[in-house]
Amino acid sequence: MSVHDELQKTIADMVDGSRGILAADESSGTIAKRFAAIGVESTEENRRFYRASLLSAEGLGDYISGVILFEETLGQVDDRGVPLPDVAAAQNIVPGIKVDKGKGALPGAPGDLITYGLDGLAERLAGYKEQGARFAKWREVYPISPGNPTRLGLTANAEMLARYAAVCQSVGVVPIVEPEVLMDGNHDIERDAEVNEWVWHEVFHALYRHGVVLELMILKPSMVTPGKESTRAVPEQVAEYTMRSLRRAVPAAVPSINFLSGGQGPEEATANLNALNQLWQAPWQLSFSYGRALQEPALKAWAGRSENGPALQRALLKRARLNHLAMRGEYRESLELE
């Protein structure tokens, strides 16, 4: 199979109009915080059990088309000794891998950040493919302040995303491009829309320069929302501002936009996605790639106790099903009580 055919098959398997992506790629530090919130120690065995339970939830593949894994998870097995990427694939869920190496300050642009991990990326991707990964994810983050993001921050982060995406496509791995505009701050929704448009314009200019084939990638952006310290917006307002900005900045050639949840709670993220899909016909699939907004109820149901594995899976399946309905514009708040 040619590289192009590999990419096309992965896109076809992940973009079907009714399923989204489970982000289960928390770094060691992040998963430790999530576990600490429920009083669980972040040991390798606890991480293995938890993530194996997520992936083996019967029927998950009805709502989830892909899962982003952390490098450790890619090499782990379930209680039967089956590699976790194979557990996902058995449910028609495409395994993927987070490939960036975290972020740090961007020199010359106070307040802006840059993500590391391009060195040796092609070689790492070859190894990940052997372990079953068919797509990858790279995240750049953009703080909002009166002076951020700077012009350098916009261009440098876009360049990193484009270089990563080009490397992925060169070896037959579909890139998920994630430019996350952070929710931290007291900015209003108009400011957030302005920054997201700047970011998306810059990212797609860079992708074009690097020859990235837009039909063979997935965009994972933020929704347009006010900052966490500002007045919350209703779903219809989030949808209107998000769609307007997307239409101004994102080419129609992109097959799927899988929103990140950022700081949104599970119900909020689902309601906002539902409003987006009710607004009007979009040229892209509007889907989800949620981490905490899918996993938070599952973590609480589990509480670190193996006997709670079935409850963990039921909680995950409920949220996955509700977001599947939101992709169709069929979600209702009353469904939360069922």
**26, 220, 240, 318: the active-site residue:** 220
Token readout for 165 is: 């995406």
Query: From the CB of residue 186, how many other CB atoms can be counted at a distance below 10 Å?
Result: 12
Between CA 7 and CA 175 the distance in angstroms is 9
CA–CA dist 123, 292 (Å, integer): 30
Determine whether 178 is an active site residue: yes
Could you tell me the two tokens for 3? 């590289």
The single residue of 71, 178, 202, 268 carrying the catalytic annotation is: 178
**Which two tokens mark 276?**
């987006």
How many Å apart are CA 330 and CA 116, to the nearest integer? 40
Q: Which two tokens stand for residue 34?
A: 């999530």
d(CA 184, CA 282): 28
Token pair, residue 74, equals 């890619």
Pick from 189, 196, 212: nearest CA to 248:
196
| Residues annotated catalytic, as ranges | 178, 220
